[in-house]
Amino acid sequence: MEIREAQTLADYAGILAIDEVVWNDTNAPVAMQKWPDAGEFKAAMVAEGRRHGVAVDENDAVLGYVEFSSRFPSHHYKWDIGLGVAPAAQGQGVGGQLLAWLQELARQEKMHKITLRVLGTNPKAMRLYERAGFKKVGELKDEFYLDGHFVDDYLMDWFVD
């Protein structure tokens, strides 16, 4: 497995394919945007300053991705992230390796911290983030109403050394 920054249309198509099968109304607070093709998705991500690291296998198939960006000019010192791993690759260390890659990139690019939000319906992801050194710093009780239930939302962060 190799981890690198997304570059090709195939990388972006792989990200979209993961999004299609990973996110649903039980684990995503908003509907995922549907893109007509990988080219439009890539163009929009680049225009918005949203970068992606991808984990690819020996055939360059995308196993997982981490999206990272600074949402506002005053956030230029930090990245907000999202992570997705193909179901067939879950439990094989892909998510942890993507986070380690991103943490090293954050050091190289002199970032101050990385933040994320994770729903209470996703305890596996919370454990993954905690193993990578992220700490829970906030809890929004009953923040979303998904699939007939109120769901808590947690804020986590990791500070660069």
CB-CB contact of 52 with 79 (8 Å) = no
DSSP tag of 24: -
Q: What angle do CA 6, 66, 113 make, to 5 degrees?
A: 115
DSSP tag of 6: -
Q: What is the pLDDT of residue 147?
A: 87
Please state the pTM of the whole predicted model: 0.94
CB-CB contact of 158 with 113 (8 Å) = yes
Residue-wise pLDDT for 86-137, tens only, equals 999 999 999 999 999 999 999 999 999 999 999 999 999 999 999 999 999 9
41 sits in the region (left: phi over 0; alpha: psi -120 to 50; else beta) called alpha
* End-to-end alpha carbon distance in the chain: 26
Which pair of tokens denotes residue 62? 């995308």
Return d(Cα 4, Cα 101) in angstroms, integer.
8
Structural domain boundaries, residue 9? 2-159
pLDDT for residue 75 is more than 80: no
Return d(Cα 9, Cα 130) in angstroms, integer.
32
40: phi then psi, degrees, rounded to nearest 5? -65, -40
Q: What is the pLDDT of residue 46?
A: 94
Q: What is the pLDDT of residue 6?
A: 98
Q: What angle do CA 57, 38, 32 make, to 5 degrees?
A: 95
Question: For the chain, what is the domain count?
Answer: 1
Q: In this structure, what CATH number is given to the domain that contains residue 83? A: 3.40.630.30
79: phi then psi, degrees, rounded to nearest 5? -115, 140
